[in-house]
Chain A
Amino acid sequence: MNGKTKMKGKTFNYASTGRWSVILLAILFAVTLLLVAASCSPAAAPADDQGPIHVRLAIARDEGSLNPYTYVSGYPGHNLLLLIYDTLFQLDEQNVPQPWLVEKYQPDADGLTWSFTLHKGVTWHDGTPLTADDVKFSYEYYRKHKHARWTKAVAAVESIEVEDELNFTIKLSDPVPAFMMNPLADVPIIPAHIWRDVTDPGSFTDNTGSGPYRLISHEADKTYKLEANAGYFRGKPAVDEIGIVIIEDQTATFTALRVGDIDIAARSLLPELVEEFSGTTDVAVVTGPGFVSTLLQINNEREPFNDPRVRLAIARAIDIDGLVETVLLGYGTAGNPGYLHPALPGYKTGLKHITDPAQARALLEETGFADSFGDEEFELLVRSNDPLRVRTAEIIAESLAAIGMNVKVKALDSSTVDSLVWPDFDVTRGRDYDLAIWGWSAPVMLDPARLGALFHSDLNTRGSLNIGAYAGENVDAMVEELAGTIDPDRQSKLMSDLQSAVADTVPFVTLFYPDGIYAYRPGTYDGWVYQNGQGILNKLSFVPVP
């Protein structure tokens, strides 16, 4: 029986279904074929008109209402915050603090009293003049209303005396070694006339700043729009409007960049994508050193890692240059065993990582632990959402196997890793791990105060970032002296000694510092300035430093 002969037009022609499924299959094949051929697409010619410049920037998460109490992340939240608000000083390309809101400054001999003169003609976004009273108000406000970053930064400020609208003096209770960097170049000044009566800053959403951009709209979890502050005291910013789009997914971010839906991404490009993007004419890639560190964190309290020789053996077993080549494809700098990035002025020249598995084995023999290693299994924790770190962990596990240590890589979600390595973000609450791939953000590289917190053995006071409970001989004394030293020669001597001590006693193994790799569309805007170690999302990219 043939269905078609029985079928009348008015009912239903099922013979077409056969054809239909064939068509579907054909489409599927076509899709597969096209996909293979889909790698290259014609490049659009960069537009070169003189109209207003609108840059569309992609960030990964919502940053709240972007005022000093509501921004969320250190990067890019803090960077965006400082497009809206100003600081008294501004770090230049080489991270040297330069006067910004202030025009003149003068510290006294012991570094405890600093007098400043503000720049003339600075106004808030609402037109009110910015005066010395605003500075005094801001620093006192941060002291009173707790914020993890600002409150600590202004802790040493004893008093601020306002002489007139432009002149004021800051008195410190203790000398602060990098005072111009933090707080002066870090803490944003807020308008007293707006914040005076605010008692719960966490739920206050005003964004009136004095910076080169004002926030004109925010759709939570979707977009922000920043508009150039035409009356900015250092001249009109180079980009007229910055549209910020929130794209959580990494792949989607770079697809959007490729098709031209966005002009720049705040997140760093994965090393394996650099070649692909460099090959196109409409997308450019800029790279530079990054101050974010990647470490093999070691639990110094736990046997056998409480023996410095075991930690040194671990360091010797790892081929750090190999990691930079295989994991980062060369887009990174091999770790200084003394932690500090070699591009920083405080770096102790000549301090180099040594890879020597034979010596590592000898060290383990010497400790006597080597015999028992066969049965013991150590865990190496790593955040599962970071493919580069997972690869790093796997390679390290192999290197350690070669010296007889049985290490198992355990990839967990980042909150879980945090809770094991740094429970409640409080080092006094103990720790529950053997080894972990860890990293610190750029401020923990630049700021001597935070640097000391990594190494000081008193976890209740100065050692608040010492997540391995490390204790090194003389290290505490060096950290304490460094905290009160403002003489540059003595400072660099202490920094140099500290790095040597760290290299010898290995609180953790500094593996590498991944480069910042930023892809952008030069046809839209090409004036990005790479701030050493911190990337291109900064005030310098929009307003020149004098």
Chain B
Amino acid sequence: MLQFWGRKLMQYGLVLLLTLALNFSLPRLMPGSPLQLLAGEDVGLLSRAEREEIMARHGLDQPLWRQFTLYLGQLAKGDLGYSYRQRRPVAVIIWERLPWTVLLTGSALALSALAGVVCGTLAAWRRGRISDLGMLSLFIFLDSMPSFWLGMILVALFGSSLRWFPVFGAQSPFAGYTGWAAVADVLHHLALPLTTLTLVTIAGLFLTVRYSTLGVLGEQYITVARAKGLPEGRIVFRHVLRNALLPVITLFMLSLGFVVSGATVVETVFVWPGLGRLMFEAVLQRDYPVLQAAFMMVTVCVIAANLAADLLYPLADPRVRIEGRHVR
């Protein structure tokens, strides 16, 4: 058992190191330079010596491998460096952004999982009827809609025309709300981006649940349950859903990994102060320290979600548990 865990840890450690190296080198391999960010808009007026001095001050004159080892050393000390653009510690910036992204993507994932499971089960159960076909076409329609487009429609309608919801940001600027008023303000701002993100992610879960439920509905033990005269509701929730949910757990766990990065487009449309938008801006401006740290966050989250799936799956599916023991 110990050996098993040791091996797992090594595996995940290796993956982490590899992705760190990739996260470090990819931004630097992109054409373009952060010099303009570092030197200001009149960078063209600098002499060569002045440019070199600026690059040297940020260690950018060193060979790539040297920069990488310096970066790893800093990282080991928990130092994520300074943003070139904001001139603030990257850790602070990420820490400010993270809760907003988790709030948005986390609640969207929860909502779409809930709705996906409920609607998927019902659709499978009512297969071929108007409610099934209605939901199927609706969700496929939503899935085919680009999220920025759906977001813009919602802003135009509920924000700009009806004025029910604010059109940008996560809080009313300068309102100075405290306590419940602040919470209500955030929820008010959250409504449209959350709706957008939920609607565009619901389809995958819905379809998975629907298909796996259909599969289970065809099993003989369901026929037996029906023959016993069990109430339909009990058959669905006690016997069908339990087995039909297994692939959904996998899908859910994988989506969990993208909670920090998954909403770049929606965040951009709604000017939501999350990590996705931070990454996008950092890519455009070649803000290396922010890029590295944000990518690292994503990596760590994906790896953690995988690990969690590895650990949780045997709890949900005894078959994996038994096989696992045999193999080991």
A interface vs B, CB < 8 Å? 3, 6-8, 11-12, 14, 17-18, 20-22, 24-25, 28, 31, 34-35, 38-39, 41, 56, 61-62, 64-65, 70-74, 77-78, 146-149, 151-152, 202-203, 220-223, 225, 243, 245, 247-249, 251-252, 255-256, 258-259, 261, 385, 413-416, 418-420, 422-428, 441, 443, 450, 453, 460, 464-465
Contacts and interface: CB of A to CB of B under 8 A. Distances in A.
Contact of A35 (B39, B48, B157, B159): B157
Contact of A21 (B87, B135, B236): B135
B125 interface: yes
Interface of B: 30-33, 35-37, 39-46, 48, 50-51, 53-54, 85-88, 93, 96, 122, 125-126, 129-131, 134-135, 138, 141, 152-153, 155-157, 159-163, 166-169, 173-174, 231-234, 236, 268-271, 273, 277, 281, 284-286
A11 B42 contact: no
B281 A3 contact: no
A56 B125 contact: no
Contacts of A427: 44
Contact of A11 (B93, B160, B231): B231
A3 B167 contact: no
B157 A252 contact: no
Contacts of B126: 14, 17-18
Given A17-B122, A425-B44, A418 B50 contact: no
Contact of B33 (A20, A245, A419): A419
A465 B46 CA distance: 10
Contact of B134 (A21, A62, A151, A220): A21
Contacts of B156: 35, 38, 255
B273 A248 contact: no
A418 B32 contact: yes
Nearest to A385: B284
A157 to B, nearest CB: 16
Given A252-B271, A424-B51, A464-B44, A203 B232 contact: no
B31 A255 contact: no
Given A14-B122, A14-B232, A221-B86, A255 B159 contact: yes
A62 B85 contact: yes
Nearest to A148: B42
A453 B46 CA distance: 12
B53 A425 contact: no
Nearest to A244: B173
Nearest to B174: A243
Contact of A64 (B87, B130, B160, B271): B87
Contacts of A64: 86-87
B266 to A, nearest CB: 11
A258 B163 CA distance: 11
A415 B168 contact: no
A70 B126 CA distance: 63
Contacts of B93: 220-221
Pick from B32, B160, B284 the residue with the most CB of A within 10 Å. Answer: B32
Nearest to A73: B41
Contacts of A259: 159-160, 163, 167
A469 to B, nearest CB: 14
A146 B270 contact: no
B53 A146 contact: yes
Contacts of B163: 41, 259
29 contacts: A14-B125, A14-B126, A17-B131, A31-B157, A35-B157, A38-B157, A38-B160, A38-B162, A41-B160, A61-B281, A148-B46, A149-B45, A151-B50, A223-B174, A225-B174, A248-B268, A252-B155, A255-B155, A255-B160, A256-B167, A415-B33, A415-B284, A416-B31, A419-B32, A420-B31, A424-B51, A425-B33, A425-B36, A428-B48
Contacts of A28: 138, 141
B281 to A, nearest CB: 7
Given A221-B93, A225-B174, A427-B44, 6 more contacts: A14-B125, A20-B131, A147-B40, A251-B269, A424-B33, A425-B44
Nearest to B134: A21
B88 A220 contact: yes
A243 B168 contact: no
Contacts of A416: 30-32
A71 B152 CA distance: 32
Contact of A453 (B35, B45, B162, B166): B45
Nearest to A151: B50
A420 B42 CA distance: 18
Contacts of B53: 146
B167 A425 contact: no
A221 B43 contact: no
A151 B271 CA distance: 36
Contacts of B87: 64-65, 70, 202-203
A443 B45 CA distance: 12
Contact of B45 (A415, A441, A450): A450
Contacts of A422: 44
Contact of A426 (B51, B236, B273): B51
Contacts of A424: 33, 35, 51
Contacts of A152: 42, 45-46
A21 B136 CA distance: 10
Given A14-B122, A252-B271, A3 B232 contact: yes
A426 B35 CA distance: 10
Given A6-B231, A259-B159, A72 B35 contact: no
A35 B153 contact: yes
A24 B268 contact: no
A202 B58 CA distance: 12
A339 to B, nearest CB: 16
A221 B31 contact: no
B269 A252 contact: yes
Contacts of B85: 62, 72
Contacts of B125: 14
B295 to A, nearest CB: 17
Contact of B40 (A11, A72, A443): A72
Given A34-B157, A261-B167, A426 B48 contact: yes
Contact of B285 (A256, A258, A415, A423): A415
B167 A223 contact: no
Contact of A56 (B40, B173, B284): B173
Across the A-B interface, give the 4 residue pairs with the lowest CB-CB distance, nearest first: A415-B32, A11-B233, A12-B233, A21-B134
Contacts of B173: 56, 222-223, 243, 245
Contacts of A61: 281
B95 to A, nearest CB: 12
